[in-house]
A and B are shown apart, each in its own frame.
Chain A
């Protein structure tokens, strides 16, 4: 499904921001990518959809099915986006166009990939909102992003990403900007949707407990390199790399502190 092979991303000055990253995600798999801020998670995600910011260049290979997201024709990549791979971003504030009603933003991919128009399109938009457990779909569809809560915005973004039934969803810290209860709801929602549709998931986070909730095989990224890859349960139980160990330890300390206060 997705194979990333020795992906290296350099900036204009030639400095490697992501280096020699390789991993793969099979159909229906749930891969995790975990690392601290600035470790290159978002750049890896952007390279996977073939939309690196200008000034950055990628070498190595990223393949989605038969399509290279790095080399070859842009036309082929356009065909893959939306249908094969879709994304949810970290910041619900910038993930939606502030000047466009939510419904119209969800309609964009549906119109293009499912060729729906008029009432059929409207119905599909409402079905998509329904699917992410938003009630009062009429109001939500007409709302501008600033009229929605962070959680609602992120649900709209998920609806937009999943509207065309992609085979792979790249979720770049979709819950980082949300408070803990909303975070849990959104994670459950993602969990359920990905399960029902058999969508493969590349889940990116800096938060080990969050990764433990949704991801299975997980790669630990540090300063642009993968330092350790293992099923998340093994990472938690037997972290091999010192950096992974510090991640696990700090999560444990946090848990312990919580436990002390609760008991």
Chain B
């Protein structure tokens, strides 16, 4: 499959989820706390996907879970992207011992498991969507920073940077017009990948009860709650699982397709 096809399929998958989430803000099949459908109703009729063990509409839950998944992805990428880019730029320009120190610190941060970091933060502040986003974003920032540091060093070694400096271009301008555009393609690919990982991380946290607290449905918690009844009402497990896979694969394929831009820039 060509990279372009990856990009298109990936974007379509992500847009399906994003579209459903947008619709959810205008219209939901049922109120999130409406339990009038009865417990564990099978799919069909008013309840397209049936109801969960508390009698809530599953499609409604799924849509709300989509909001949380996308919100986490955007929030974590924003936190991780901004912090990571800032720290990475600083480290990229640092020389000698400061640079060595930055490299070691980033490696240690990256070795620290995201979920463990999240648990520590949750232990301090209590489980919430904000905490989950913060934890995932912080872990992402370290990975982004390490990447940016290397990319910046690479770009700074190119002749056109020396040419720009000979031409008297100031450092801020060199960063804005030469460094950032040249690291952007690789950075975007990485952020798209990280977005997929963030969605998975949030689902894992919620599955463990460390993410979004009830009554807000996260796909991870839906999976956890469907566990007990997976044989009698498999849809309750399959639906959030499928949604999760769709979004994550969509983001990964998008990332893969964006590599197209990277090889363009390298040419």
Q: Are B265's CB and A99's CB within 8 A?
A: yes
Instruction: Name B95's closest neighbour in chain A (CB-CB).
Output: A54
From A81, A96, A99, contact of B168 by CB (8 A): A81
Stretch in A105-113, A191-199, A230-238 with 4+ CB within 8 Å of B? A105-113
A78 interface hit (Cβ, 8 Å): yes
Whether B162 pairs with A89 at a CB distance below 8 angstroms is yes
Q: Per-position contact with A for B137-178: 1 when CB-CB < 8 Å, else 0? A: 000000000000000000001111011111111000000011
A95 within 8 A of B: yes
The stretch of A45-53, A125-133, A239-247 in contact with B is A45-53
List the A side residues contacting B163 at CB < 8 Å: 87, 89, 95-96, 105, 157, 160-161
Q: In the complex, are the beta carbons of B167 and A109 less than 8 A apart? A: yes
Q: Which residues of A contact B178 (CB under 8 A)?
A: 97, 100
Interface of chain B residues 180 through 215 with chain A (CB within 8 A)? 181-182
Cα separation A157 to B165 with both chains bound (whole Å): 14
- Report the Cα distance A46→B157, complex, angstroms: 12
Residues of chain A lying within 8 A (CB to CB) of residue B166: 49, 51, 81-82, 85-87, 109, 161
Q: What separation, in Å, do the CA atoms of A52 and B181 have in the docked complex?
A: 24
A250 to B266: give the CA distance in the assembly, Å. 36
Decide: B265 and A98 in contact? CB cutoff 8 A.
yes
Contact of A53 among B96, B157, B160, B266 (CB under 8 A): B157
Q: Is A94 in the interface zone, CB < 8 Å from B?
A: yes
Verify B167–A108 contact, CB threshold 8 A.
yes
Compute how far the CA of A151 lies from the CA of B159 in the bound complex, rounded to whole angstroms: 17
Question: Which residues of chain A come closer than 8 Å to B169, judged between CB atoms?
Answer: 108-109, 112
Q: CA–CA, A99 to B177, complex, Å? A: 9
Specify the chain A residue showing the minimal Cβ separation from B165: A51
Which residues of B lie under 8 Å from residue A160 when comparing CB positions?
163, 167
CB within 8 Å of B: which A86-143 residues: 86-87, 89-91, 94-100, 105, 108-109, 112-113
Query: Do B95 and A94 touch across chains, with their CB atoms under 8 A apart?
Result: no
Q: CB distance B162 to A113 under 8 Å?
A: no
With a CB–CB cut-off of 8 A, which chain B residues contact A109?
A: 166-169
Q: How far is the CB of B259 from chain A (nearest CB, A)?
A: 16
Interface 0/1 of A31-57, CB less than 8 Å to B: 000000000000000100101011100
A252 within 8 A of B: no
Q: Kindly list chain A residues whose C-beta atoms are within 8 Å of the C-beta of B157.
A: 53
Contact yes or no, B162 A55, CB < 8 A: no
Main secondary structure of the interface of B (DSSP, over half): helix
Give A157's nearest chain B residue, CB to CB.
Answer: B163
Q: In the complex, what residues of A have CB within 8 A of residue B162's CB?
A: 46, 49, 51, 87, 89
Question: Across the interface, do A94 and B168 meet the contact criterion of CB distance under 8 Å?
Answer: no
Q: Is A71 an interface residue (CB 8 A)?
A: no
Q: Is the CB of A98 within 8 A of B167?
A: no
Instruction: Determine the distance from Cα of A82 to Cα of B166 in the docked complex, in whole angstroms.
Output: 5
Chain A residues with CB under 8 Å of B165's CB are: 51, 81
Asked if B160 and A95 sit within 8 Å, CB to CB, the answer is yes
What residues of chain A lie closer than 8 Å to B181, measured between beta carbons?
97, 99-100
CA of A9 to CA of B121, assembled, Å: 50
Q: How far is the CA of A56 from the CA of B212 in the complex (A)?
A: 52
**Bound Cα distance A105, B181 (Å):** 14
- How far apart are A127's CB and chain B's nearest CB, in angstroms? 17
Q: Please tell me which one of the listed residues A95, A108, A146 contacts residue B159 in the complex, with CB atoms under 8 A apart.
A: A95
Query: Smallest CB–CB gap between A189 and chain B, Å?
Result: 18
Cβ–Cβ contact B168 & A55, under 8 A: no
- What is the minimal beta-carbon distance from A92 to any residue of chain B, in angstroms? 9
Which residue from chain A places its CB closest to the CB of B155 in the assembled complex? A97
Q: Considering the chains assembled together, what is the distance between the CA atoms of A97 and B178 in angstroms?
A: 7
Nearest-CB distance from B197 to chain A (Å)? 28
Chain B residues, Cβ within 8 Å of A112? 167-169
Give B12 Cβ to nearest chain A Cβ, in Å.
28
Tell me whether A94 and B167 are in contact (CB under 8 A). no
> How many angstroms between the C-alpha atoms of A90 and B160 in the bound complex?
11
- Tell me, in angstroms, the Cα distance from A86 to B164 when the chains sit together: 10
Measured between C-beta atoms, what is the minimum distance from B35 to chain A in Å? 56
In the complex, chain A residues whose CB is within 8 Å of the CB of B177: 97, 100
Bound-state CA distance A147–B265 (Å) is 12
A109–B164 alpha-carbon span in the complex (Å): 8
6 additional A-B residue pairs with CB within 8 Å, beyond A95-B160, A146-B267, A161-B166: A78-B168, A81-B165, A82-B168, A100-B177, A113-B168, A160-B167
Interface residues of A (CB under 8 A from B): 46, 49, 51, 53-55, 78, 81-83, 85-87, 89-91, 94-100, 105, 108-109, 112-113, 146, 157, 160-161
14 A-B pairs with C-beta separation under 8 A:
A49-B166, A54-B95, A55-B96, A81-B166, A82-B166, A86-B166, A86-B167, A87-B163, A90-B159, A94-B160, A99-B265, A100-B177, A105-B160, A161-B163
